[in-house]
Amino acid sequence: MMPSDKAFSHKCLLLSVLIGLLVAGLSGAMFYYKELDAIGVDFRRGVEGKTTAVERELIANLEVLFSLESLFTSSEEVSATDFTNLANGFLVRHHAIQALEWAPRVTGAEREEYERARRLDFPDFEFTERESQGSMVKAAKRDVYFPVYFVAPIEGNEVAFGFDLASNANRLSMIEKSRDLDLTLATQSITLVQEVFNQKGFLILMPVYAGDARTIAKRQEKLLGFVIGVYRIADIVESAIKQTGAKGINLKLIDNTGIDAELLYANYPSAQALDHLLLSFAYTIPLRRIGGRQWTVIATPSQGYVAERQSLFPFFVGVFGCIFVLLGGGYIYIAIEHSGRIRQESEKRSRELEEAKIALEEQSLTDDLTHIANRKCFDIRFEEEWARSVRDGSSLSLIMIDIDSFRLFNETYGYASGDKCLLDLAYKLSKMPNRTTDLVARYGGDQFIILLPNTDEPILLADKCRINIEKLHIVHEASSVSDYVTISLGVISVVPTQKNYPADSMLSVKELLNQSKKLGKNRVSIGSDVISAKKGDILKFKHFSKNSGE
């Protein structure tokens, strides 16, 4: 693997790992938010259940007043006992009712009669009002009173018994509105004087008419009084929600009828800090308007509610996803490194094989003894150069060399000396040509051959070879031509064509070499000096032999 390939693979791997980590992280986050969504759906369903229960409870409490109203509309005269008997039945079933009351319309003229009638059971009874200091006093004279005349239960509601609602300006205006519009109206929250746990309460006033009351005038005329329910808000909400299953829901009930919302009830400390996550679940549901008031439920889950429903699955998806990606990345990294090493190893082996092959090829083309090109190498090069010369129309020259009386040399000095002699001659001959395209090869035995492409005067080089070999002064006492080792040479030049053949040239040069031998050795035989011979013919030289001594 090339270093750049490896770096590219590493970059791809790094990118893949980063993408993998991102995907694992996003998957974890996706599951986390999906789980929160499911918790949100569950939470809202729970809140809706509780809100419906609160609404149902309010309506059930309101219906109590309708029953009491019917008592007054269906009877000529309702006694305290009638009222108390009916009211007590409701009080047993509805624990959020602080009191059920009857406040008749009493004119100034009727006051004494009303007070007297009630004193039969309660000797201290009188119409009362709250003075500015807060204590209850005998009600001042006025045209119309709305005293709390019947109250059930009496225990715990003694303060309200006899209280004239008309003495309070707010209450009076509500009474008049309820009377004129025939509306059941609820007060805003009040702190109940009877309440020990300081929970808030409210009153619902329901007008009761004697007969037809379709116009304002008739309503004013026919008004008998009001049935009144006094309710404890917390008890209403709690008795409603305890019937529902979901736990851990923080509920707040607010009255937002007016501009300023007023907190009516909360089932958790209002100062409790809610974190961002819990607030994100906040769910607001307005209740049906009851008694002209708009109440709204605001709910948030408690810490426990969310924690109970959250699982570790998103965390595991994120963390194990990242671990899996990192392990996978690590494995691939090791695999890349490993395959890189294997590839390097195999490239190294291929190189070594290639080198070995080249070495073998070179070896197969080199003569073992003299270390110059061998006959095979010559044959290949000769073929190639011949073909090239045919294409170029250039000449090709051959110098064939044979050592004179080499058998005698071997016999005189031994075969090893003969080898040494061959080596020295090969070395010297290999240095003779100047051009890299020239080739000096051992042709076999004591013969050498020089291939000279496109050479004008091979005869000069041949003779130079002859002279320089003799100058090596390799003693050859048995030689008949010199005291030293000498060589005989044959030289030809040819312009190769499609019509002549390399073998013919070889034959010719061998003939010329034999010619040199026959003429006395240590000489160069060439043909005639007819360089200008017709192209395509082997240049047929006149037999010419040259010897330094001649």
Compare residues 221 and 419 and give the one whose CB is closer to ligand GTP: 419
User: Which range touches ligand GTP (CB under 6 A), out of 22-30, 250-258, 358-366, 396-404?
Assistant: 396-404
The one among 54, 306, 401, 422 contacting ligand GTP by CB under 6 A: 422
Compare residues 83 and 406 and give the one whose CB is closer to ligand GTP: 406
CA 133 to chain centre: 73
Binding mask 318-357 for ligand GTP (x = CB under 6 A): ----------------------------------------
Site for ligand GTP contains 446 (CB under 6 A): yes
Site for ligand GTP contains 375 (CB under 6 A): no
Site for ligand GTP contains 404 (CB under 6 A): yes
459 near 544, Cβ under 8 Å? no
Question: Please, which residues have CB within 8 angstroms of residue 250's CB and are 6 or more apart in sequence?
Answer: 266, 267, 268, 272, 274, 299, 300, 301, 302
Q: How far is the CB of 475 from ligand GTP (least distance, A)?
A: 15
> 25-62 b/e with 16+ CB inside 10 Å = b?
beebeebbeebbeebbeebeebbbbbbebbbebbebbb
Q: 């080089």: which residue's tokens?
A: 461
The one among 145, 406, 443, 448 contacting ligand GTP by CB under 6 A: 406
Compare residues 157 and 486 and give the one whose CB is closer to ligand GTP: 486
Site for ligand GTP contains 445 (CB under 6 A): yes
Structure tokens at 352: 């070594």
| DSSP annotation of 369 | T
| DSSP annotation of 417 | H
Site for ligand GTP contains 371 (CB under 6 A): no
Q: How far is the CB of 438 from ligand GTP (least distance, A)?
A: 24
Alpha-carbon separation of residue 133 from 126, 130, 137, 168, 501 (angstroms): 19, 8, 10, 14, 148
User: Which range touches ligand GTP (CB under 6 A), out of 355-363, 386-394, 408-416, 526-534?
Assistant: 408-416
Measure the CA–CA gap between 288 and 296, rounded to whole angstroms.
9
CA 280 to chain centre: 26
* Contact set for ligand GTP, span 507-526 (CB under 6 A): 517, 521
- Residue with nearest beta carbon to ligand GTP: 418
Structure tokens at 392: 């170029």
User: Which range touches ligand GTP (CB under 6 A), out of 133-141, 254-262, 320-328, 411-419?
Assistant: 411-419
* Interhelix angle 3-74/233-241, nearest 10 degrees: 120
Site for ligand GTP contains 162 (CB under 6 A): no
H or E element at residue 324? helix 313-364
Measure the CA–CA gap between 210 and 216, rounded to whole angstroms.
14
Q: How far is the CB of 521 from ligand GTP (least distance, A)?
A: 6
Compare residues 238 and 402 and give the one whose CB is closer to ligand GTP: 402
Pairing of strands 150-152, 185-186: unpaired
Q: How far is the CB of 405 from ligand GTP (least distance, A)?
A: 4
Q: What residue ranges bind ligand GTP (CB under 6 A)?
A: 369, 402-408, 410, 415, 418-419, 422, 445-446, 517, 521
